[in-house]
């Protein structure tokens, strides 16, 4: 429990379970911030500046510039644009992977980023993937991009290049003759 008042006029201690839980959650959040941890939180509301999320009982804020699936133009216009506001509203009740970028307990402020969490997750996943890949191994991946010289295939954290000369037994003028972006392939 959290002691609000050690002794009231009647001689009893005034305690709070709710404040104790909030105190514990702030301490957990501070530890997550220090440890650079990624966390999951549910979107509970939105405003023109971004999303409001529930981080284990603490209200956190994800600024519009830190939301992953918004384009630069949408971020520049803010939540004033009806299309952007609709996207923000559509994210309500979704669970996001986030990283704490600012924490100020005195001001009851918890700022998070979905963009940084995604970058960090991909970086970690890429390092894991590069450690486990072995020459001669066969993997499934998704074609992420096509270029004149070949196709890039996402193996779940890192992209690899399949040179145009390795796409087919016959001559290929452009990778689009053989592959499409989003297609699943064995490499």
Q: What is the pLDDT of residues 86-127, one digit of tens each?
A: 888 889 999 999 999 999 988 989 999 999 999 998 888 889
Q: Which two tokens stand for residue 62?
A: 């994800």
So what's the pLDDT on residue 16?
87
**Is pLDDT above 90 for 152?**
yes
So what's the pLDDT on residue 173?
94
**Is pLDDT above 70 for 66?**
yes
0.75 cut: is pTM over it? Answer: no
So what's the pLDDT on residue 85?
83
Whether 75 and 65 have beta carbons less than 8 Å apart is answered as yes
């Amino acid at each position: 429990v959290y002691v609000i008042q050690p002794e009231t006029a009647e001689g009893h201690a005034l305690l709070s379970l709710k404040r104790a839980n909030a105190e514990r959650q702030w301490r957990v959040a501070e530890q997550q911030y220090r440890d650079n941890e990624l966390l999951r939180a549910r979107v509970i509301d939105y405003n023109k500046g971004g999303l409001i999320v529930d981080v284990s009982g603490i209200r956190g804020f994800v600024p519009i510039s830190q939301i992953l699936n918004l384009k630069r133009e949408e971020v520049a216009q803010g939540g004033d644009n009806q299309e952007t506001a609709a996207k923000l509203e559509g994210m309500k009740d979704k669970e996001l992977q986030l990283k704490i970028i600012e924490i100020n307990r005195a001001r009851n402020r918890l700022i998070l980023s979905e963009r940084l969490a995604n970058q960090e997750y991909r970086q970690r996943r890429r390092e894991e993937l590069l450690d486990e890949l072995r020459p001669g191994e066969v993997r499934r991946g998704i074609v992420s991009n096509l270029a004149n010289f070949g196709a890039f295939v996402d193996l779940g954290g890192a992209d690899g290049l399949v040179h145009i000369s390795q796409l087919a037994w016959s001559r290929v003028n452009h990778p689009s003759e053989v592959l499409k972006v989003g297609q699943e392939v064995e490499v």
